[in-house]
Amino acid sequence: MFPAPAHATGQPPRRRQGLKIQPFRRRADVAPDFAVNSCLALSSAFRDCYAGNARDLDFETLYRCAYDVVLFGHGEMLYTQVATTMASEAEKLAASLLADHAAQTDDGAFLPELLGKWKTHSTAVAMINDVVRYMDAVFVPKRGKVPVRELGHRAWRKAVVGSDESTPVGATLRAALLEISRRERAGGAPVDAEICGLMAAAAKMLVDLGGGAYEETLEAPFLDEAARFYAVESVRLRLELGSCSSCGEYLGEVESMADAERARAARCGLDAAQMGEKAAAVVLWEMVEKDGVAMARLVGGLAAMLAEGRCSDMARMHRLLGRVPGGVAAIRSAMEAHFREIRERAGDDERMLSGEKDRYREMIDGVFHGEVSFHAALDSCFG
C-alpha cells in the first residue's frame, strides 16, 4: 500500500522553504593587519619576479591573496605597493646597467645589456599583472587609475629612458644608437646584421614604451643629426660641382643619400614610425629645398638636359623636386623658358617647330609621366 497524498487526508500541503541568498558580509575573522601583511608578502613575491626566482612562487596563492586584499577594500594599498615596487626595481636595474657599462671598455656591450635588463623588467611586469589582474580589471577602471602594464612602462621610462640630466642611461642609449648611423654616413663600413638587430630591438622597446619615448630618445636626435650632416654635405658638393651643367650629378648624389637613409632605417628596424621617409625628407630639405639659390641652380641645368636628351637626369630631377613644395612649378618655368628660346630661334620654320614640339611632347610623356602642366607649357609656346 502506498501512503495517501497529503491533500487526500484533508491536511493542507506543506510549503517548500524558498532559497534565501544572504548578502555579502565581510569575514569577521580577518586580522587587523591583514592588508599590510598581505601587501608586504606580495611585494616580496614581486621582487622575486625581478630576481628570477619565479619558479619558487605559488601564483595561485598569490592571486587569491591579491584578490582578497581588493575584495576587503584595500585596493589602494595594493596598487601603491605595485607601483612602488616596479619603480624601485626599475631604478635598481638602471643603476646596475650603468655600473656594468662603466666597468667595461667595449661600448658595443651596452645595447645587449640594456635589452637584457628590459627583458627582465617586462617579464616581471607581466607576472605581476597576472597576480593582480583582479585589481587591474575591477579597482583600476573604477578609480580611474593607470593600468598595471602602463605603470611598468612609466617606471622604465622614468628610470632608464628619461632626459639626459635625470637618467644617464637615456643619454648613453641615445649616443649608442646615433653612433651606428654616424659611422655609416661618414663613409664607414655598413653596420653588420647583429648590431642592426640590436638597434631594431632597442627601437621596438622605445615604441612599446609609448609616452613619446621613441620620438624623444631616438627619432628627434636621429633627424637632427641627419640635418647637421647633410647641411655640411650640401655646401661641400656645391663647391665641388659648381656649375649648373653638373646639376645632374648633384641630384644623383642627393638621390643616393636619400636612398641610403631609407635603407639604413629598414635595416635597423626604424620604419615603425616611417623613419626612413622622414630622414629622406631631411636630405631633400637640406640639399635642395632649404636654399633657394640651390633650387634655382638645379632647375637652371634643365635646359641642357632637355637639349641633350638626358632622360635619366630629367627623370631624377622630377622625382626629387616633385617632393619639394614648388619644385614642379620651378621645373615648368625653366621648361617654358627653354621652349620660348627654341620658338624664337626657329622663327617661321614650321617644319622645325613641328619636329621640336613632337620631340618634347614625347619626352614629357615618357620622362615626366605626362605631367599636365608641362604639356600646357609646351602648347603655350608652340601653339
Q: What SS3 string covers 135-156?
A: HHHHHHHHHCCCCHHHHHHHHH
Do residue 169 and residue 293 come from a single domain?
Answer: yes
Are 205 and 118 in contact by the 8 Å Cβ rule? The answer is yes
Do 198 and 151 lie in a common domain?
no
- H helices of the chain, in order, are 34-51, 59-71, 75-103, 110-131, 133-134, 140-143, 148-159, 168-185, 193-209, 213-214, 220-241, 247-267, 275-284, 292-300, 302-308, 311-321, 327-346, 350-367, 372-382
pLDDT digits (tens, 9 = 90+) for 96-147: 988 877 766 566 688 889 999 999 999 999 999 999 999 999 999 999 999 9
Task: Looking at the structure, tell me whether residues 141 and 35 fall in a common domain.
Answer: yes
- Identity of the amino acid at 132: V
- Flag residues of the chain having pLDDT under 70: 1-32, 103-108, 163-167, 188-191, 242-245, 271-273, 292-294, 383
Q: Amino acid identity of 288?
A: V
**226 within domain boundaries:** yes
DSSP tag of 11: P
Query: Is 8 contained in some domain?
Result: no
* Residue 81 CB burial class (10 angstroms; 0-12, 13-18, ≥19): buried
Query: What phi-psi label fits residue 334: left (phi over 0), alpha (psi between -120 and 50 degrees) or beta?
Result: alpha
- The whole-number pLDDT of residue 71 equals 92
Q: Which amino acid is at 201?
A: A
Cell of 304: 641642357
Q: What is the pLDDT of residue 90?
A: 95
Are 86 and 151 in contact by the 8 Å Cβ rule? The answer is yes
**Domain closes at, from 104, 134, 160:** 160
Res 1: pLDDT: 47
Residue with cell 622622414: 278
The three grid cell numbers given for residue 155, joined into one nine-digit string: 617606471
**Torsion sign across C-alpha atoms 250, 252, 255, 257:** negative
Return the percent helix, strand and coil in the chain, to nearest 5. 80, 0, 20
Final residue of a domain: which of 280, 298, 316?
298
Is residue 269 domain-shared with residue 369, that is, in the same domain?
no
Alpha-helical regions (H) of 162-271: 168-185, 193-209, 213-214, 220-241, 247-267
The answer to whether residue 110 sits within a structural domain is: yes
Helices 292-300 and 327-346, interaxial angle, to 10°?
A: 40
Q: Which of residues 108, 132, 160 is at a domain's end?
A: 160
198 in any annotated domain: yes
Identify the CATH number of the domain in which residue 62 sits: 1.20.1310.10
Of 273, 240, 279, 241, nearest in space to 259 by CA: 279
- Claim to verify: residue 253 and residue 187 sit in the same structural domain: yes
- 316 is written with which cell numbers? 631624377
Mark whether 312 and 288 lie in a shared domain: no
Q: How much is the pLDDT for 309?
A: 85
What domain count does the chain have?
A: 3
Asked whether residue 190 falls in the same domain as residue 139, the answer is no
Predicted local confidence at residue 6, as pLDDT: 54
Domain-located, residue 90: yes
* 115 and 223 belong to one structural domain: no
Task: Print the domain residue range for 138.
Answer: 31-160
Q: Are residues 294 and 313 in the same domain?
A: no
Q: Which three cell numbers stand for residue 193?
A: 646584421
- Report the C-alpha gap between 202 and 191 in whole angstroms: 15
| Residue 23 is assigned to a structural domain of this protein | no
The answer on 259 and 361 residing in a single domain is no
| The pLDDT of residue 60 | 92
Rounded CA-CA distance 252/237 in Å is 11
Tally of CB atoms within 10 A around 198: 22
Give the C-alpha separation, 125 to 103, whole Å.
Answer: 28
Q: Residue for cell digits 656591450?
A: 109
| Residue 43 · residue 20 · CB < 8 Å | no
In a domain, 285, yes or no: yes
169 lies in some domain:
yes
CB 201 within 8 A of CB 269: yes
**Three cell numbers, residue 319:** 622625382
The reply to whether 173 and 282 lie within a common domain is yes
Do 52 and 170 sit in the same domain of this protein? no
What per-residue confidence (pLDDT) applies to 264? 83
